[in-house]
Structure 1
Amino acid sequence: MSNEPIALREALASFDALWSPRIVTRVNDYDVRVAKVAGEHIWHVHEHTDEFFHVLEGELRIAVRDPDERSVTLPKGSVFTVPRGTEHKPYAPGGATILLFEPTGTLTVGDRHEEVPGHVDATTGHALS
């Protein structure tokens, strides 16, 4: 990890892949990741960790089943935490850029998930180039 300031705008400009987060830094045992998103992710669950979302640009929606299905809308500048064990599916009809906090090694498609389509990167995060 860098010991220099990281410009998020430059970090986001360094890649084009959707639903494929990049690790910008680490805080203790957590990754700080940025991602470009558009369309739908998949229904998935993180059994042992919460998932924090911060919308940098655009609008993100997150469908959650807690226990009834509902949708949370996050405009630019909003944050939302999906509690551990909650089935959820992020989607961004108009596209968005987001920042996430997750324990290092957390898989983007969770511990339980649907079949992973080709447009979703099942990863624990990629290093910035």
Structure 2
Amino acid sequence: MPPTPKGEKLSLAVKLAGIDEHWSPRVIAEMNDVQFKLVKLHGEFVWHTHDTTDETFLVVRGEMQVAYRDHEVTLREGEMVVIPRGVEHITRAADECHALIIEPRGVVNTGNARSDLTASNDVWV
């Protein structure tokens, strides 16, 4: 699916329909050096940090948790969280959850941790 040109509307539902894998963020738009990525989550991710940038999760559909070493935050549809740079965290979703991630271009989804869930960057849907 080609990128939607800037200045034109895009549908999150249509873009999400083009994503088949869990834990594989897909770019849907860019603004300056910031990417907007859709992701489908199910199960548990990996503990990791992003040393040089914050990252934002906005739940489009479903429910997810962001766990830190000392507490956990539950996000439901329409709720978001900004995870501070350098803070170790893990994301999880008991049932499939759809989220929008907002972060600078080039951020590796598993941060400082490498695993079989490390996704390729700059893959558009």
Same fold (TM > 0.5): yes
Given that 2:54 and 2:84 are in contact with CA atoms closer than 8 Å, whether structure 1 keeps it comes out as: yes
* Structure 2 residue matching 1:126: 3-state secondary structure: coil
- Does the Cα contact within 8 Å between 2:43 and 2:94 map onto a contact in 1? yes
Deviations 1:82-118 (A, max 9, x none): 00000000000112000011100000000x22x513x
Percent identical residues: 35
Structure 2 counterpart of 1:73: 74
Using structure 1 for the length normalisation, give the TM-score: 0.88
CA contact (8 A) 1:36 1:95 kept: yes
- Equivalent residue for 1:46, pick from 44, 50, 54: 50
Residue 15 of structure 1, aligned match among 7, 16, 19: 19
Q: Is the 8 A contact 2:108 2:118 kept in 1?
A: no
Unaligned runs of 5+ in 2: none
Aligned residue number for residue 123 of structure 2: 126
In the alignment, structure 1 segments of 5+ residues that lack a partner are none
Shift of 1:123: 2.6
**Paired residues, number:** 121
1:121 positional shift = 3.8
Aligned-residue CA RMSD in angstroms? 1.2
- 1:1-129 pair list within 5 angstroms: 1=3, 2-3=5-6, 4-65=8-69, 69-110=70-111, 112-113=112-113, 115-117=114-116, 120-128=117-125
State whether residues 20 and 126 of structure 1, in contact with CA within 8 Å, keep that contact through their aligned partners in structure 2. Answer: no
Contact 1:108 1:122 in 2 (8 A): yes
Q: Which has the higher strand share?
A: 1
Q: How far is the alpha carbon of 1:125 from its aligned partner? A: 4.0
In 2: Cα distance, 1:61 partner to 1:13 partner: 23
Question: Is the 1:33–1:125 contact (alpha carbons within 8 Å) kept by the matching residues of 2?
Answer: no
Q: Matches of 1:43 and 1:125 in 2, distance apart?
A: 22
Report the TM-score, using the length of structure 2 for normalisation.
0.91
Cα distance in 1 for partners of 2:83, 2:110 equals: 14
